[in-house]
Structure formats: structure tokens, C-alpha cells
């Protein structure tokens, strides 16, 4: 057998491959939630790019992508069951719900010894060959540190939480709130946003401004929620009076930073998650070894450095 080594930014995968004439074809599933979001589009694009590179090496990948929608996590469970029924050799998952999807991983894929790679959001049960996620706690701290730098001690800040059952969302919130408290800010009780929609975000922001009119900082777990909250803040004449930070970026939120409407965004690297996730899957199927857990760092986009992010695929490719 000939030995190949595939070096990735996330680490080095040692891979033993047979000659190309003996290479296998793999049907691989990629189950995502919020699949039309630019963040997820970018993540899937990374997986497709990696699959294309494997094809050049003689390993053909039939990639089946499913989108569980925006509100019903049970639909993603059905998607995963459909992928299993279609005979996938492995599955990549961006979980919409860490609990529900973890159960499916355990009962379906682990039970049948089908390898699983998790990208971005962790699961609370089930096993996987590799999990490639953002260090969400550290990213949340970045947002909290930024807000503390721009607000006087004693200022009231709050999280608008649209992901109470998502491990990554809760890690972001903990990081933000820990950093804010340590800096002397007053952290209010979170405000739940029931669904990832502009309408839901607007209602949560309206309730917040009525209940806590002296709030000075808002952190959201997703850029869409901040977009909805900004509309209410602007209509209330509070634009510029409340420091606004969020996780993630898309073309709309990027322009809002350019226009001075949003203060800062914590930016992840979904392309690399999808790219490294696909590579981890194929290396594992080919008998190689991969890192079990990979944490990726975030970058902070602000009004001062916004133009340096113009080429980010979440912005430029959507």
C-alpha cells in the first residue's frame, strides 16, 4: 500500500490509501438545520470542496445534503432517518437540537456502527469519530469583553437567547455573561426568543425595552436575532444608545456594522468546519486516524476592522 499524509489546518491526518484503482465510492449524508442561512450554505460549500479534492485522488463521494428547516427539529430527525434508509456510509451533522439529535445518533447510527462527524453544535449523547466546533465560550467572552470596554461599570446588559437546548448557544451565553460580570456590568436575566425569526426577535426586544428601559447592552446568539432587535431599538429612538453584539455574520449584518448600526460580531469559520468535517469522515472510513475533538477560534468584527472581513465567504459568496 502507498502512504499518503493529508495535512489540514485543524491537524494532521495520517492516511493509508490503497492504489486508486481499489478506491471506494462513498455515499455520505450531511444533515443541517437552518440550511438556507449563509452560515450553513458556507459550511456545506466547505464539505463539497473537500469532496471534490477527494475525487481528484480517486475517491468518489456522493454527498446527500438535507435541510431540516428553521423551526421544527423533529424534521431533522426524519431527515437523518431518511439518510440512513438511503444507505449512507457516514453522516455529517449540524444539529439543530443537541438533545434530540444526540438520541438519533445513539439509536440509529451508533447502533449500526455508521460513523458520525459533528460540525459546529455539540450533541449531549451519542458517539462520533470527530467533532469540529467553535470554542463558543471563548467567543462569548470576546463579546463580553468588547461590551465591557465600551460601557461603564454598572451598566445593564442582557442576552436574547434563541437556543436554550443548543450546547453552542449556551456556551456563548455563559462566556458573554462571565466576562460581563467580571468587568462589573450588571447581567440581567436572559430573554428567550422562541424561534429564529425576525418577528420573534422583534417581540423579545419590545418586551425587553418595556421591562428594562435602561438596558445598555444586548448580546444575541445569532446575527438574525440582532437584526430584528435593532429594528425595535431604532423605532424606539435608541439607536446608538445600546451597544449591540452578536455571534455570526451575513451580508446584511456585515453592512449594518459598516453603517454603524451594529457594534461588533463574533465571526466563526463554517467553511473550515465543513471542509475539515468531510476530510475527517473520509480519512476515518479509509482507516486513518483523526482528532476526536477540534476547537476553532473566533475573530471579532468591529466598526474599526469591518473592511478586513469583506472577503469572508459568508459575506462574499452570498
- pTM comes to 0.82
Return d(Cα 282, Cα 302) in angstroms, integer. 37
| 243 shares its domain with 280 | no
| 75 shares its domain with 40 | yes
pLDDT tens for each residue of 96-132: 888 999 999 999 999 999 999 999 988 999 999 999 9
| 251 shares its domain with 203 | yes
Residue 34 backbone class (left: φ over 0; alpha: ψ -120 to 50; beta: rest): left
Per mean pLDDT, which range of 107-116, 137-146, 226-235, 309-318 is the poorest? Answer: 309-318
| 163 shares its domain with 53 | no
Q: Is residue 66 part of a domain?
A: yes
Cα 252 versus chain centre, distance: 17
Q: Is residue 257 part of a domain?
A: yes
pLDDT given for residue 222 in this prediction:
92
**Segments forming the whole domain that contains residue 64:** 2-133+269-296
Amino acid at each position: 500500500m502507498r502512504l499518503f499524509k493529508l495535512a489540514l489546518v485543524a491537524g494532521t491526518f495520517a492516511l493509508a490509501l490503497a492504489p486508486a484503482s481499489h478506491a471506494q465510492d462513498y455515499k455520505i449524508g450531511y444533515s443541517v438545520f437552518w440550511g438556507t442561512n449563509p452560515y450553513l450554505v458556507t459550511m456545506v460549500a466547505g464539505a463539497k470542496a473537500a469532496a471534490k479534492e477527494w475525487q481528484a485522488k480517486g475517491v468518489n463521494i456522493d454527498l446527500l445534503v438535507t435541510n431540516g428547516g428553521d423551526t421544527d427539529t423533529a424534521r431533522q430527525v426524519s431527515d437523518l432517518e431518511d439518510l440512513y434508509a438511503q444507505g449512507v456510509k457516514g453522516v455529517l451533522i449540524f444539529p439543530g437540537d443537541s438533545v434530540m439529535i444526540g438520541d438519533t445518533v445513539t439509536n440509529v447510527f451508533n447502533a449500526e456502527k455508521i460513523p458520525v462527524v459533528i460540525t459546529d453544535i455539540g450533541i449531549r449523547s451519542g458517539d462520533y469519530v470527530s467533532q469540529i466546533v467553535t470554542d463558543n465560550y471563548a467567543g462569548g467572552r470576546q463579546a463580553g469583553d468588547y461590551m465591557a470596554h465600551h460601557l461603564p461599570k454598572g451598566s445593564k446588559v442582557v442576552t436574547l437567547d434563541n437556543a436554550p437546548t443548543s450546547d453552542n448557544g449556551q456556551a456563548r451565553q455563559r462566556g458573554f455573561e462571565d466576562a460581563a460580570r467580571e468587568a462589573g456590568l450588571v447581567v440581567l436575566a436572559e430573554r428567550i426568543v422562541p424561534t429564529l425569526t425576525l418577528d420573534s426577535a422583534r417581540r423579545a426586544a419590545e418586551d425587553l425595552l418595556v421591562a428594562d428601559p435602561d438596558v445598555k447592552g444586548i448580546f444575541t446568539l445569532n446575527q438574525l436575532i440582532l437584526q430584528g432587535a435593532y429594528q425595535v431599538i431604532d423605532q424606539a429612538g435608541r439607536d446608538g444608545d445600546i451597544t449591540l453584539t452578536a455571534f455570526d455574520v451575513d451580508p446584511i449584518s456585515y453592512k449594518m456594522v459598516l453603517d454603524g448600526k451594529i457594534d461588533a460580531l463574533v465571526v466563526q469559520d463554517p467553511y473550515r468546519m465543513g471542509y475539515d468535517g468531510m476530510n475527517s469522515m473520509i480519512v476515518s472510513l479509509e482507516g486513518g486516524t483523526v482528532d476526536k475533538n477540534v476547537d476553532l477560534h473566533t475573530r471579532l468584527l468591529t466598526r474599526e476592522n469591518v473592511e478586513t472581513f469583506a472577503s469572508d465567504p459568508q459575506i462574499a459568496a452570498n
